[in-house]
Structure 1
Amino acid sequence: MKWHGVMPAMTTCFDERLKVDHAFMTRHAQWMLENGCTGIISLGSLGEAATLRFEEKTAILKNMAAATAGRAPVVAAISALSTDEAVELAKTAADAGCEGLMVLPPYVYKGDWREMKAHVTAVFAATPLSCMLYNNPVAYGTDFLPEQIAELAAEYGNFAAVKESSTDVRRVTAIRALLDNRLQLFVGVDDAIVEGIAAGARGWVAGLVNAFPRESVALFEHAAAGRDREAFELYRWFLPLLRMDTVPKFIQMIKQVQQEAGIGNARVRLPRLEVTGAELAAVREAVAQALKTQPAVRSLAFATA
């Protein structure tokens, strides 16, 4: 498992009956890989995992493994209410053909370090798969501190990467100061990608990549190569969209961006509802402006069927 580059936190597409649209998801994953993405992350927050039944999660992972056909890794986000369910999902992901796991703290319960360590290490130990720890204290209320991350890295050899979504790029340098290159660090919030790479991140778990993959890859590559002028120009164009990744309705907004760009639909499962009114108008205006001023680098055409 190679943790590097731009890995989409892939949205879960639903049909008119709000059933998982596996055919579309196959085309979507393949299209993002054709545009330069280095892997696919399924069942994350953006993938509406909390609304998916266990059998739906299993079917998605099997479909993604078949869709990528070994050309890039499939990473399963492991999130659950209980540790037992998280361990079961990790084992299922391994059986389905995934090459890595992105391990989240448990839903709902915000435990202390002793409890959170017990939870995530149970998942680490469940399979030999390479694991990424997902740190998002803003969304989940659980904050894995750099010293705690170092403790995990010393004890588990298959703990290989961190998705850092605290929104504080100083966390990237703090982890590197303790561990050097022992872990691969990924930026987990879209509108901090250039800053995160400057601090030492080597990858990006991205959201707006679902609609603009080649543009996302180009931004990452410019920043990683130190091409500051090119990176800033592309970043300035992209920021109104990237900022949608950091608001409570990020799922609805990113799916709406996809629909406006002709990449799928805006359907979400309850309790979420599609954006309306001023929120919908703002998304449409941002996408229209982005398409009007699109840079020379742009994604390949998407096959609708």
Structure 2
Amino acid sequence: MKLSGIIGYPVTPFSHDNKSVDLGKLGQVIDILLEAKVGAIAALGSAGEAAYLSESEWKQVAEYTVKYVNGKVPVVIGVAELTTAQAINYTRYAYEIGASMIMLSPFSYYKLSEQEIYSHYEAVSNATPLPIMIYNNPATCGVDMSPEFMLKMVDGIQNASMIKESSGDIQRMHKIYKLSNGKVPFFNGCNHMALEALNAGASGWCTAAPCLIGDRPKQLFEAVKEGKSEQAKALFYQQYEFLEFIVTSGLAAAVKSGLELQGNGIGDPRKPLQPLGRAERKRLQGLLTEFV
């Protein structure tokens, strides 16, 4: 599967008492992303609070997202589990419901060796025909995979076909491009590095930003691809402070507060996560006025 452009991340709405998923409001979030002209939708990532969902909730969100999108764009399902058995369970479910691919992260309590990580990916690949996006997100998952190792997995594991790099080190992206001769698609997972990453050859940008600022990320992507460097730079710096803010203040909390400020309230993040405080909300409101 060829994937490119903006990969939009929906947040997961909860009921008023925070005890269940609100699928109706999830549909509203998906509509916002589709209106922002994203190239794909990636459910159950960090912004979607996947780590805070029960198995039944996780499956509800995955199935609803695939059905609601209804083939308009590809649907990527995030899988980040401590055990290989549970990762296989979720991956098989993603295939059963018609997902387009999975985005697989190794999640660590004990420090994992490269052999353990490789075996984890290989076992998941053997359990499904779905393409796998290798996701390196050391800050969240506790595992940091080198470009050389991820490319080794792409070369040796049948369904591992692309990489999402979120370490925050632009040199990793240059290495992926150089070592693969530009043949392995890679995606930017760091909002504040979007311009550098796209200029480094990234096939796309994975972000929750379109939930709040519409198609501005897509405009940036297209400006880079069309060689309009000055326009791309202007678009990026228009978004930069906002992109930095939503990451440093917590994606789920920031996006949910932003949606509420825009009249699309979908509830708070799940505890122990907290909604933005008064000062942060005021700061976010000021940032959002720049996009009106």
TM-score tier (shorter): over 0.9
134 and 56 in structure 1: CA distance in 2 versus 1, 3 angstrom threshold: same
The separation in 2 between residues aligned to 1:135 and 1:245, in whole angstroms, is 20
The separation in 2 between residues aligned to 1:108 and 1:260, in whole angstroms, is 37
Q: In the TM superposition, what are the counterparts of 1:148-163 in structure 2 within 5 Å?
A: 148-163=149-164
Deviation at 1:167, TM superposition (A): 0.6
SS of alignment partner, residue 187 of structure 2: strand
* Corresponding residue of 2:13: 13
The separation in 1 between residues aligned to 2:98 and 2:77, in whole angstroms, is 10
Deviations 1:205-247 (A, max 9, x none): 1122221231121122112222122222222221111003432
Aligned residues: 291
What amino acid sits opposite 2:70 in the alignment?
A: A
SS of alignment partner, residue 186 of structure 2: strand
When structure 1 is superposed on structure 2, of 244-253 and 50-59 the one drifting more is 244-253
* Corresponding residue of 2:123: 122
Deviation at 1:107, TM superposition (A): 4.3
What amino acid sits opposite 1:110 in the alignment?
A: K
* TM superposition score normalised by structure 2: 0.93
SS of alignment partner, residue 132 of structure 1: strand
SS of alignment partner, residue 222 of structure 1: helix
The separation in 1 between residues aligned to 2:125 and 2:251, in whole angstroms, is 28
What amino acid sits opposite 1:208 in the alignment?
A: A
Q: In the TM superposition, what are the counterparts of 1:278-297 in structure 2 within 5 Å?
A: 280-291=278-289, 293-294=290-291
What amino acid sits opposite 1:49 in the alignment?
A: A
Q: In the TM superposition, what are the counterparts of 1:12-161 in structure 2 within 5 Å?
A: 12-18=12-18, 19-161=20-162
SS of alignment partner, residue 285 of structure 1: helix
CA contact (8 A) 1:170 1:199 kept: no
Deviation at 1:259, TM superposition (A): 1.9
CA contact (8 A) 2:187 2:202 kept: yes
Asked if residue 241 in structure 1 is aligned to residue 247 in structure 2, the reply is no
CA contact (8 A) 2:11 2:29 kept: no
The separation in 2 between residues aligned to 1:225 and 1:8, in whole angstroms, is 21
147 and 289 in structure 1: CA distance in 2 versus 1, 3 angstrom threshold: closer
Q: In the TM superposition, what are the counterparts of 1:148-227 in structure 2 within 5 Å?
A: 148-227=149-228
Unaligned runs of 5+ in 2: none
SS of alignment partner, residue 215 of structure 2: helix
Unaligned runs of 5+ in 1: 296-305
Deviations 1:168-200 (A, max 9, x none): 111111011111233211000111000001111
The separation in 1 between residues aligned to 2:230 and 2:34, in whole angstroms, is 26
Deviations 1:105-150 (A, max 9, x none): 1243331211111112222222010110110123322111111112
SS of alignment partner, residue 197 of structure 2: helix
Deviations 1:74-128 (A, max 9, x none): 1110111211001100001110110100001124333121111111222222201
Aligned Cα RMSD in Å? 1.7
When structure 1 is superposed on structure 2, of 228-237 and 65-74 the one drifting more is 228-237
28 and 246 in structure 1: CA distance in 2 versus 1, 3 angstrom threshold: closer
